[in-house]
């Protein structure tokens, strides 16, 4: 009997979940391909699990602009099928979403009930996933997080370490603001929420969760270089100076007071998380 079923095995959050919950069953792409939503639902029904966490997603923000059908299958249709299966079995379902569901106007941190307005395919498909999960009738928690980093997989910290070792200077956008979030803290939050939902079958909903304090990509890059002892200089640029296929929100700040109130989960300190990740990468 599997206590906990996790979709994803190699991703940043899935890797941290595997460390924190070694007894959980992790389904990689070979066991459950999210481009086959019915197979994901069948995997839940076959698992005998008490709770389900979805840590897999199509996360290539720019590539999604040219692969919208695949992004929608993975980010919306598969989570919808998972949630329906969880609903049918009465299992709590924890899902991870993103700051990119917001358009990013203004400076106030977003609260869960603020209007969404994704700027690109990735955000739009993640939003469609949220909506389908909420409509499924499952006991579901949706954790909207941002700017995830860890020692594994692809993320901004690892990109900066690679480029910072090769170049004397990097130009980085300073007008996109948000909270970098250690993958380990997200994994811990997912586990805490799954337990709390098993204890109290009325718990669930959308919750914001990001690292503190809020920063911008250029200041985050400077912190990475300083902490890693790299002499690469970071020059502030604007979003207009750094054209990308997908637009990104200027304001990704997330108000995380609801998750603190309802689950006792506090914003992690991203600077401490960065030290941990750099230590792990050195080993
Ligand atoms: N990364 C970030 O900055 C942010 C991420 N999020 C959300 O957090 C969650 C976890 O993200 P993160 O850990 O960073 O993700 P990663 O990009 O590190 O990993 C994505 C995971 O999804 C799996 N995956 C992708 N496509 C499929 C598929 N068709 N079938 C099965 N598995 C698939 C990948 O498997 P494989 O290794 O085989 O490709 C991988 O395990 C996602 O929901 C994401 O949207 C939210 C905000 C920020
Ligand atoms: C490499 C590089 C990036 N940038 C900019 C581009 C972008 O605006 C910002 C971050 O780059 P990334 O490609 O890491 O960003 P991106 O892939 O958009 O990261 C996002 O991923 C998805 C999955 C999420 O859900 C989001 O929360 C967010 O973490 O930095 C520079 O300005 N200079 C550079 O040299
Ligand atoms: Mg990226």
Ligand showing the shortest atom-to-Cα distance for residue 40? 1
> 147: Cβ–Cβ under 8 A, 6 or more apart, which residues?
99, 156, 178, 179, 180, 181, 210, 211, 220, 252
Interstrand relation of 51-54 and 93-98 (parallel, antiparallel or unpaired)? parallel
> Across the chain, where does the E strand assignment appear?
4-7, 25-27, 51-54, 93-98, 140-145, 148-149, 169-173, 177-178, 181-182, 205-208, 215-216, 233-237
Ligand showing the shortest atom-to-Cα distance for residue 78? 1
Closest-CA residue, ligand 1 atom 6, reads 98
Closest-CA residue, ligand 1 atom 41, reads 11
pLDDT grade, residue 89 (50/70/90)? Answer: very high
Share of the chain above pLDDT 70, in %: 99
Query: Ligand 1 centre and the CA of 120: distance in Å?
Result: 17
Cα dihedral: 146, 192, 10, 52 (round 10): -110
The model's pLDDT over 24-54, given as tens digits with 9 standing for 90+, comes to: 999 999 999 999 999 999 999 999 999 999 9
As a whole number, the mean pLDDT across the chain is: 97
In angstroms, the CA 103 to CA 116 distance is 7
Q: Which atom of ligand 1 has the smallest separation from the CA of 29?
A: 31
Domain 4-154+180-213+253-268 of CATH type 3.40.50.720 = yes
Beta-carbon neighbour count of residue 66 at 10 Å? 12
pLDDT over 70 at 22, yes or no: yes
The model's pLDDT over 206-236, given as tens digits with 9 standing for 90+, comes to: 999 999 999 999 999 999 999 999 999 999 9
Check residue 2 and give its pLDDT: 65
The complex's ipTM works out to 0.98
Closest-CA residue, ligand 1 atom 16, reads 11
Average pLDDT over residues 76-102: 98
What are the DSSP calls for 89-141, one per residue?
A: HT--EEEEEEGGGS---SSSPBPTTSPP--SSHHHHHHHHHHHHHHHTT--EE
pTM of the model: 0.97
Average pLDDT over residues 98-119: 98
Query: Ligand 1 centre and the CA of 57: distance in Å?
Result: 4
pLDDT grade, residue 68 (50/70/90)? Answer: very high
pLDDT over 60 at 1, yes or no: no
Token pair 């603190």 in the structure block, residue: 260
Instruction: Name residues contacting ligand 2 (CB within 6 A).
Output: 59, 61, 98-100, 146-148, 156, 159, 170-173, 176, 217, 242, 248
Check residue 263 and give its pLDDT: 98
pLDDT over 70 at 271, yes or no: yes
Report which of 150, 223, 217 is spatially closest to residue 178, judged by C-alpha positions: 217
The model's pLDDT over 244-269, given as tens digits with 9 standing for 90+, comes to: 999 999 999 999 999 999 999 999 99
Two tokens, residue 63: 């590539």
Angle at 148 between CA 96 and CA 247, to 5 degrees: 85
Active site residues: 122
Ligand showing the shortest atom-to-Cα distance for residue 54? 1
Ligand 1 within 6 A of CB of 67: no
Domain extent listing, the chain: 4-154+180-213+253-268
3-state secondary structure of 215: strand
Closest-CA residue, ligand 1 atom 18, reads 11
Check residue 35 and give its pLDDT: 97
Query: Ligand 1 centre and the CA of 152: distance in Å?
Result: 12
Token pair 């270089």 in the structure block, residue: 225
Q: Which atom of ligand 2 has the smallest separation from the CA of 57?
A: 23
Average pLDDT over residues 127-151: 98
- On whether the CB atoms of residues 56 and 8 are closer than 8 A, the answer is yes
Average pLDDT over residues 83-96: 98
């Amino acid at each position: 009997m599997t206590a906990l079923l996790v979709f994803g095995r190699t991703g940043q959050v899935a890797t941290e979940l595997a460390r924190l919950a070694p007894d959980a069953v992790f389904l990689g792409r070979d066991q459950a391909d999210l481009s086959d939503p019915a197979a994901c639902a069948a995997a839940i029904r076959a698992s005998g699990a008490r709770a389900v966490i979805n840590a897999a997603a199509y996360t290539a923000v720019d590539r999604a602009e040219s692969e919208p059908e695949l992004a929608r299958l993975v980010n919306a249709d598969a989570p919808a099928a998972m949630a329906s299966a969880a609903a049918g079995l009465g299992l709590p379902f924890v899902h991870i979403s993103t700051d990119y569901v917001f358009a990013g106007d203004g400076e106030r941190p977003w609260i869960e009930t603020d209007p969404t307005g994704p700027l690109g395919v990735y955000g739009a498909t993640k939003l469609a996933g949220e909506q389908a999960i909420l409509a499924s009738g499952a006991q579901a928690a949706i954790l909207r997080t941002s700017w995830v980093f860890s020692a594994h997989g692809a993320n901004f910290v690892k990109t900066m370490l690679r480029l910072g070792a090769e170049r004397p200077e990097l130009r980085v956008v300073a007008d996109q603001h948000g909270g970098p979030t250690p993958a380990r803290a997200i994994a811990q939050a997912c586990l805490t929420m799954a337990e709390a939902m098993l204890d109290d079958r009325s718990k669930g909903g959308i919750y914001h969760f990001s690292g503190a304090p809020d920063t911008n990509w250029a200041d985050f890059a400077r912190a990475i270089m300083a902490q890693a002892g790299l002499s690469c200089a970071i020059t502030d640029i604007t979003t207009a100076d750094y054209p990308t296929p997908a637009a990104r929100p200027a304001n990704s700040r997330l108000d995380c007071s609801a998750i603190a109130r309802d689950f006792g989960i506090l914003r992690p300190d991203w600077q401490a998380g960065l030290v941990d990740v750099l230590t792990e990468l050195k080993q």
